[in-house]
């Protein structure tokens, strides 16, 4: 009897979480095909970076993990006048070349402010992660990595592209 109740409770909570999963309240951002392609390929780059960071942490290569995070997703490490699409600041540091790129395919101008802010919080989480990883402890580094992955999740729950 106890077992039956137990499975019933499990089944019910499973069903509830499935129902929640299927509710899609995302705001869909319209992008021209070329822009969407660029956006999604950046995303796949983020996924790859995340995978490489996890691999480096697993090997206890904290410095490598820091460099990967910084150079693929960080604001500071990507430097050299490069400007993230999510960056809303006026950016006198933005390259002329970068700006013409933006005009052509940039998705930054299509992203609502809230989405850009989520993007920037990913980039600063990557810089924070790099700092923490360089200071040593793997446990702390994992916690800081979670700040990165939860930025991915937050934006994916709120936005989509079409």
Question: Which residues would be at the binding site for ligand HEC (CB under 6 A)?
Answer: 40, 43-44, 46-47, 50, 115, 118-119, 122, 148, 151-152, 155-156, 159-161
CB 127 within 8 A of CB 74: yes
Least distance from ligand HEC to the Cβ atom of residue 84, Å: 10
Nearer to ligand HEC, 142 or 159 (CB): 159
| Rounded least distance, CB 26 to ligand HEC, Å | 7
Least Å from the CB of residue 9 to ligand HEC:
32
Decide whether 39 or 62 has the Cβ nearer to ligand HEC.
39
Nearer to ligand HEC, 45 or 136 (CB): 45
Alpha-carbon distance 32 to 35, whole Å? 5
Cα dihedral 104, 42, 162, 124, rounded to 10, equals -100
Instruction: Say how far apart CA 154 and CA 25 lie, in whole Å.
Output: 12
In angstroms, give the least distance from the CB of 132 to ligand HEC. Answer: 16
Q: Which is nearer to ligand HEC, 44 or 103 (CB)?
A: 44
Compute CA distances 69 → 1, 56, 135, whole Å: 52, 11, 14
CA pair distance 121, 118, nearest whole angstrom: 5
Angle, CA of 133, 124 and 80, to the nearest 5° = 95
């Amino acid at each position: 009897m106890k077992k039956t109740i137990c499975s019933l409770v499990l089944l019910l909570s499973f069903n509830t979480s499935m129902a929640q999963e299927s509710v899609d309240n995302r705001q869909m951002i319209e992008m021209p095909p070329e822009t969407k392609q660029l956006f999604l390929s950046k995303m796949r780059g983020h996924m790859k970076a995340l995978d490489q960071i996890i691999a480096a942490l697993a090997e206890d290569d904290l410095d490598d993990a820091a460099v990967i995070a910084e150079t693929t997703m960080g604001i500071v490490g990507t430097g050299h006048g490069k400007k993230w699409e999510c960056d809303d600041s006026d950016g006198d540091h933005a390259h002329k070349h970068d700006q013409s790129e933006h005009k052509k395919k940039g998705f930054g101008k299509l992203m609502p402010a809230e989405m850009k802010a989520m993007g920037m919080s990913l980039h600063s989480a990557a810089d924070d992660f790099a700092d923490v990883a360089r200071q040593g402890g793997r446990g702390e580094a994992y916690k800081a990595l979670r700040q990165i992955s939860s930025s991915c999740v937050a934006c994916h729950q709120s936005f989509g592209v079409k």
